[in-house]
Amino acid sequence: MTCVITLRQKGYKLTPQRRLIADILHDTGAHLTADEIIAHAQERMPGVDKSTVYRTLDLLEEAGCVFKSRIGDTFVYHHAEEGHHHHLVCRKCGKTVECAEDLFAPLEQSLARDYGFHVDLHHVVMNGLCQACAKET
């Protein structure tokens, strides 16, 4: 896992807890809330404290191993693997659709051209309605 290397490079120690949390995010591959991560962590390693989880998430985010996004009113975490992609999250059923990165390229360029603004496009989460839910409405 790249984050192990990244942590070392940045001078952080590699503890079982940190490895665990990175694993959880990587294994599930989903957007997890802090609460969910705490639950998973304590299941796999009884005794881990939530404060450790919070501290580790901050650390991993700062190290660029993990992305924090907003879904509705809550923050979720997702591992940052090579080969960026974005997510479309349905606000009705909660389903997540992965989406190719290059769809955002035109927008990125327009914003740079028209406003000189350089958008963060590392890991975008957009909300909306998925195909199924859009039909129902």
Partner DNA sequence: GTGAATGCAAATGGTTTGCAACGTA
Partner DNA sequence: TACGTTGCAAACCATTTGCATTCAC
What residues make contact with DNA under the rule CB under 7 A? 8, 12-18, 33-35, 45, 47-52, 54-56, 58, 75
What one-letter code names the amino acid at 53? V
| Residues counted in the chain | 137
Bridge partners of residue 33, in order along the sequence: 76
Q: Which is nearer to a copy of itself, 18 or 86 (CB)?
A: 86
Residue with tokens 């998430």: 57
Q: Which does 115 bind (CB under 5 to 8 A by kind): DNA, a copy of itself, none?
A: a copy of itself
Residue 106 makes contact with a copy of itself by CB under 8 A: yes
CA-based nearest residue to 53, from 29, 31, 21, 7: 21
Q: Which is nearer to a copy of itself, 15 or 110 (CB)?
A: 110
Query: CB 54: neighbour CB atoms within 10 A?
Result: 13
CA distance 36 to 4: 22
Residues making contact with a copy of itself (CB under 8 A): 68, 70, 73, 75, 88, 90-91, 97, 99-100, 103-104, 106-107, 110-111, 114-121, 126-131, 134
